[in-house]
Structure 1
């Protein structure tokens, strides 16, 4: 099998394409996150109901990714990813003309379906085309792009909402995403190692079933569920905290504070490189420690401490996601890669939808302390899951370093 080498022109094209694809996907998905309290006030709805603008599309995104895998196995990786980004961008433009909250929600749900093709296939494409020994760093680029996209989306939406309206903000974001999607389609190299398989419901059912049977993979799926859920719960409702005393920040400043996520994106690439030298289990524990410390720092009334906490929180999350998602690709054999990647993302985005929404119940009942309590409880659960994963790897006589050449893939479906 011929892999694309680090430093080659094709590698650089993949580098740029993954940044563009991630930027578009997560700008669309999380761009409206800073508007949750704006929607709550404008439409006279509760914070948890307003959060449907984020939780509904993440849920439909998660469910759709289960089916995208079988289509990509038959039709090809690049085609599915490109169509996904282009159609989601067009729907983003249409959402700017929503006459009410119900229409906005319908279009956001459709965006969730449309954008599923990129995140469901991106890691599969990378694991097929990039050498396993360097997969960690390029997955780190993909994850880092998600932070960049989420930041750009939030800043554009929050700033233009301050100066114009949320309708203008979503329109501008949609146009920018459409241009980036076209560049992605042009820039991404065609798959070299992809082998199409016959479109079959039986193949899909077998792949999904085998992807759920393997305990190592299942534990990684649940880690993704818990971590993104805690992450989104905090960022969904921090706008309510920052718009009130003692902070009293404007919509633009709240959006700019999401630069903390961008500042934390270094960790996804850095931790991806570290997986080539150190145990993934230990790196996960380090990422979780950063995540928890950052969450606790947001309890401070001093804005600088809070900002540092957000940076640490985002860094820990992005590092953990980079490690876990890349590990799924390494543990899976070629016939199972697309299915296991889709299952990881199904759990991952379902966590965003379910826990992100439930964070609003904690906020409404107990304020910001309630949100942080939820995050801390989920962090403890994550630590227990990592310990269980470590025991499973040891019992299977796998090396604790987690290096690709030392890991035996699960049985073929």
Structure 2
């Protein structure tokens, strides 16, 4: 079961970000700007963001295994069509369908494991699924980058699609039938009430916005970095540009350290540290030195994963009811941030080069700091009110 979900995670995130490392080649092939090409990333993540909540509700009625299988089947089928897209518009449309289908995995995988895995094995099973997400996102970009250097972006996307097909087939063969799932009727009104309750909570709203802003910085940086590194003064080949995404491994350590940081600094202190680390990384990438640019990306990655881990875990602790919906809303906000960051970061790059993208990222991090300060003021006001009572 754990191996099946691990393979599903690899397929999901290899497909979701399959074009991100290939954007300079896509721009050249279709003769479009950086911001136009970035829609091949934004369309997928944006569609995923919109579909997470409704697909999580459908899984309550039709079953986690059924939904995951159908979602992955549609996504890999579309993935085999993507290399033949005749225009950028067709590519963006296919990627949007793919992103919508892929929403079925993050929407239901954790719930499936929670229902079917013994409690003492649950943490390890979820950890393996998350590891599959990380490995899929990283390997898809790295393998795609080297394949594109040898054979072009269309073959590279086809290679990732073929690997995803193999993972999907193994997933379906390995995943056992559910033993503990009980279908529930679709309760649209109850779901709407729960969602309204979460969106009406000021702390949850701040956490959703913080997650979105951190992801906007991350999405902008990694969507545009390929253009920066493939141009002078670096002029790196596509394979090396794709290999830059190995820096994602830093995120594993940063996520694991987030809990210790919260213990030492508190939640808001950890958010300040994550935002400051990412801001320092953005400023370092302005240097005309490849080692400093790579170090800057390391700091951006560490800061992002720290902020994301702190915000997402705080959502689960804050929500006293409807935790699945609270987490789904965070996932939606997270991928909305990814979609917006990819597009707006590319627009900023078009307008002002890499410094424009850095400026956009710093503005988003200023939003993180502002929201965290508002949280500090709100917590202080609550303490004063409690003391006065």
Tell me how far apart the structure 1 counterparts of residues 101 and 298 of structure 2 sit (CA, whole Å).
31
| C-alpha distance in structure 2 between counterparts of 1:98 and 1:149, whole Å | 23
Aligned match of 2:353? 367
1:186–1:224 CA distance, 2 compared to 1 (3 A): farther
Which residue, out of 315, 339, 355, partners 1:353? 339
Cα separation, 2, equivalents of 1:202 and 1:151: 39
What residue in structure 1 maps to residue 98 of structure 2? 111
**2:281 corresponds to which of 294, 304, 309:** 294
Partner of 1:243: 230
- Choose which of 16, 21, 39 in structure 1 pairs with 2:26: 39
Give 1:32 shift.
0.6
Q: Structure 1 length as normaliser, TM-score?
A: 0.83
Question: Alignment RMSD, CA only?
Answer: 2.9
TM-score w.r.t. the length of structure 2 is 0.88
Aligned to 1:158: 145
1:62-141 → structure 2 map (5 Å cutoff): 62-125=49-112
The 1:157–1:233 alpha-carbon spacing in structure 2 relative to 1, beyond 3 Å, is same
Matched, 1:382 2:368: yes
**Residue equivalent to 2:254:** 267
Residue 245 of structure 1 and its aligned partner are, at CA, apart by 1.4
Quote the offset at 1:394 in angstroms: 6.2
Q: Residue deviations 1:325-384, cap 9 Å, x none?
A: 2332333345x1232222112211111112321112211111111111111111111122
Q: 1:286 to 1:194 in 2, by over 3 A?
A: farther
The residue that corresponds to 2:12 in the other structure is 25
Partner of 1:176: 163
Q: Which runs of 5+ in 1 are unaligned?
A: 1-12, 398-413
Cα pair 1:267 1:319 within 8 Å, conserved: yes
SS in structure 2 at match of 1:199? coil
1:350/1:25 CA distance change after superposition, 3 Å: same
1:141-194, CA deviations, whole angstroms, 9 ceiling, x for partnerless residues?
Answer: 655543322211111211111111222211111121122233344555777776
Aligned to 1:404: none
Cα distance between partner residues in 1 of 2:113 and 2:76: 23
Give the match for residue 199 of structure 2.
Answer: 212
Structure 1 pair 192–396 and aligned structure 2 pair: CA distance change class (3 A): farther
Instruction: Give a deviation string over 1:19-39, Cα, whole Å, max 9, x none.
Output: 433322221111211121211
**Contact in 1 for aligned 2:218/2:341 (Cα 8 Å):** no
**Do residues 253 (structure 1) and 277 (structure 2) align?**
no
C-alpha change, 1:127 and 1:312, in structure 2 (3 Å) is farther
SS at match of 2:234: coil
What is aligned with 1:9? none
Work out the CA distance in 2 between the residues paired with 1:133 and 1:352. 33
Distance 1:385 1:123 in 2: 29
Task: Provide the residue aligned with 1:285 in structure 2.
Answer: 272
Please state whether the residue corresponding to 2:367 is helix, strand or coil.
Answer: helix
Relative to its length, the structure with more helix (as a share) is 2
